[in-house]
């Protein structure tokens, strides 16, 4: 199984998430992660969807099917080495009095993670990185007692010199953010 990152640029309209996800469902492709955000152009949304698939051909077909959705402006499918990608995770770690204190220095310097909130009996640590890095940190911090663990979907940018919005149809004259 190969991981593919599919970047979809769409108009920001109602119900579009459903129109896109049903294309995966119909082909029995499981969505591993999904992130939606507005792009540097106003009114243009960017979906980053990761899937695992063993047939590149099928993924290409899927990409073309997604492009067929009327509100979709452009679709790009990538292998992992073609994109720079990251995820972000939040760990809520129990820190009751009397237990082993967490080692901030290791967390910061070795794992490049940061405490973003100090509660009375817990801390919230933010760790950004790829899946393997986040899981490394997960294993490290687990003995301290994970109260909650949440991880975002992948966000990714292509390793091309141009921005992907350059590929959007010329008619899309969305404003750039300052």
Partner 1 sequence: MDNQLTMIAQQEIASAEAVLTQETAQPMTTTDVIAEGPRFLSGAQALMESLIAEGTEVIFGYPGGAIMPTYDALFDYTDRLDHILVRHEQGAGHAAQGYARTSGKPGVCLVTSGPGGTNLVTPIADAIIDCTPLVCIIGQVKSTLLGTDAFQETDIIGVTTPVCKWNYQITHPDEVPEVMAKAFYIATSGKPGPVVIDFTRDAQVGMMDKPYQYKKIEGLASYKPRIVPKDEHVQKAAELINNAKKPYILFGHGVLISGAMEELKAFVEKTDIPCASTLLGLSAMPIDHPNYVGWLGMHGNYGPNVLTDQADVIIAIGMRFDDRVTGDATKYIRQARVVHIEIDPSEIDKIIKAEAPVVGDAKEALRKLLPLVKTNNHSTWRNEFKKFDVIEEQKVTRRELKEEGEIKMAEVVNMLSQKTNGEACIIADVGQHQMIAARYYQFKKPHSYIASGGLGTMGFAIPAAFGAKKGAPDREVVAFIGDGCFQMTIQELGTIAQSGLAVKLIILNNNYLGMVRQWQQLFFEKRYSFVELKNPDFVTIAKGFGITGHTCSERDNLSDSLDALLKSDKPYLLEVIVEKEENVFPMVPAGASVVDIRLD
What values do phi and psi take at 25, rounded to 5?
-55, -45
Those residues with Cβ within 8 angstroms of residue 32's Cβ, 6 or more apart along the chain or in another chain: 3, 50, 51, 52
User: In the set 10, 45, 48, 95, which binds partner 1 (CB under 8 A)?
Assistant: 10
Max alpha carbon distance in the chain (Å)? 63
Which of 112, 89, 96 shows the shortest CA–CA distance to 145? 96
Helix or strand or coil: residue 109? helix
Whose Cβ is closer to partner 1: residue 44's or residue 155's?
44
User: In the set 1, 37, 57, 81, which binds partner 1 (CB under 8 A)?
Assistant: 57
Could you count the other beta carbons within 10 Å of the beta carbon of residue 36? 16
Strands 83-94, 44-53: pairing kind: unpaired
d(CA 155, CA 48): 6
Whose Cβ is closer to partner 1: residue 43's or residue 158's?
43
Give how many residues touch partner 1 by CB under 8 A: 22
Q: Which stretch binds partner 1 (CB under 8 A): 66-74, 118-126, 128-136, 150-158?
A: 66-74
User: In the set 105, 171, 175, 178, which binds partner 1 (CB under 8 A)?
Assistant: 171
- Minimum CB–partner distance for residue 111 and partner 1 (Å): 42
- Minimum CB–partner distance for residue 58 and partner 1 (Å): 10
Whose Cβ is closer to partner 1: residue 10's or residue 50's?
10
150 forms part of the interface with partner 1 (CB under 8 A)? no
109 forms part of the interface with partner 1 (CB under 8 A)? no
11 forms part of the interface with partner 1 (CB under 8 A)? yes
Whose Cβ is closer to partner 1: residue 68's or residue 100's?
68
Whose Cβ is closer to partner 1: residue 28's or residue 68's?
68
Strands 122-129, 2-11: pairing kind: unpaired
Residue with tokens 């695992």: 52
């Amino acid at each position: 199984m190969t991981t593919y990152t599919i970047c979809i640029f769409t108009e920001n309209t109602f119900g579009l998430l459903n129109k896109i996800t049903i294309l995966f469902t119909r082909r029995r492709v499981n969505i591993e992660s999904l992130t939606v955000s507005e792009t540097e152009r106003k009114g243009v949304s960017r979906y980053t969807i990761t899937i695992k698939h063993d047939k590149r051909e099928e993924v290409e077909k899927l990409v073309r099917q997604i492009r067929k959705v009327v509100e979709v402006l452009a679709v790009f499918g990538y292998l992992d080495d073609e994109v720079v990608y990251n995820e972000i995770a939040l760990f809520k770690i129990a820190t009751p009095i009397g237990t082993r204190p967490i080692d901030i220095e290791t967390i910061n310097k070795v794992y490049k993670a940061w405490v973003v909130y100090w509660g009375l009996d817990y801390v919230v640590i933010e760790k950004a990185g790829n899946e393997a890095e986040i899981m490394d940190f997960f294993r490290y911090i687990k003995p301290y007692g994970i109260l909650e663990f949440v991880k975002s979907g992948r966000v990714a940018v292509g390793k091309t010199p141009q921005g992907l919005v350059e590929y959007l149809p010329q008619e899309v004259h969305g404003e750039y953010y300052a």
